[in-house]
Amino acid sequence: MMLKEFAKKPRRFVPGHRSCAGCPMPVIVRTVLAAADDPVVVANATGCLEVTSTIYPFSSWNIPWIHNAFENAAATISGVETAYRSWKKKGKIKENIKFLAFGGDGGTYDIGLQSLSGALERGHDFVYVCYDNEGYMNTGNQRSGATPFGAHTTTAPAGKVHKGKEEFPKNLTEIAVAHNIPYVAQASVSNIIDLYNKAKKAFEIKGPAVLVVFSPCTALWKIRTDMAIEVAKLAVETRFWPLYEVENGKYKINYKPSKHVPVEEFLKTQGRFKHLFKPENKHLIEKIQKHIDEGWERLLKKESEG
């Protein structure tokens, strides 16, 4: 897909939202929606995307859209998809329709995980997109299951005793893979062509598909409003956030950095990791680097095993 072609796609998410300056979340939404050739119905969990795109009485959604509680976007879209299949079988609906759910990491890794797991296990034909900004940003930067080890948050603050979050994040991509669904992919806002291609594949595959998309938070990661894409690129180059997909159980790494870039190049761009660069915390950066290196080796092994 060429950028010129992408620019001609219908606008299903339009200007007027109130997302923070420099937030990459709208780019993710527009890119995913552009990848669907058929009409789309969206379910949207409570979170940054929902509250910034539907300030009453306005809406940026130019398609059918349903607001859900934090925990039930996947259940809601499952019900809509089931009703659609029933009506299509009875001849009440003729056209092909795609079904899509959006949730942040709070509404996906944590609060909505049970709902998502159930929908994946049942095999509904829908796409679930997690825009991953690594915390409960809508409510002030509380730690989530996606928050990185060592990050400062309001509920895992960095101080004299504790040095930010003390646990490594869940691997949502691998949790989705474990459900034996047709398609799972990890993408980043720093590469919208890769994201578009993965979203298109997700829509075209029959059955559930999950996309986990890296989405830096300009406000609460403490980065400049023009830095989100740069930070997202560094996450990929340092292998902090690998770009890969798993289709019918087969792993494919979509981008392999040509050289080793140490993780501190990514960490030092953000105020939430500032405390890690004190001399007494050097071992914490080393621990993060070791975790990344081991994860990358596991991923290479999975790909090589076919």
Euclidean distance between CA atoms 147 and 212, whole angstroms:
14
- Region of 57 (left: φ > 0; alpha: ψ -120 to 50; beta: rest) is alpha
**What is the tally of structural domains in the chain?**
1
If pLDDT is split at 50, 70 and 90, which confidence band does 306 have? confident
pLDDT mean over 251-269: 98
Residue 53: how many other CB atoms lie within 10 Å: 24
pLDDT confidence of residue 208: 98
**Residues 70-109: tens digit of each pLDDT:** 999 999 999 999 999 999 999 999 999 999 999 999 999 9
Euclidean distance between CA atoms 66 and 194, whole angstroms:
27
**Residues 116-152: tens digit of each pLDDT:** 999 999 999 999 999 999 999 999 999 999 999 999 9
pLDDT confidence of residue 1: 57
- Starting at the edge strand found earlier in the chain, the sheet holding 244-247 runs 65-68, 40-45, 98-104, 127-132, 209-214, 183-188, 244-247, 250-253
Euclidean distance between CA atoms 186 and 67, whole angstroms:
25
Range of the domain at 54: 3-304
Cβ partners under 8 Å of residue 122, min gap 6? 78
- Peptide bond between residue 24 and the one before it cis (omega within 30 degrees of 0): no
If pLDDT is split at 50, 70 and 90, which confidence band does 61 have? very high
CATH classification at residue 300: 3.40.50.970
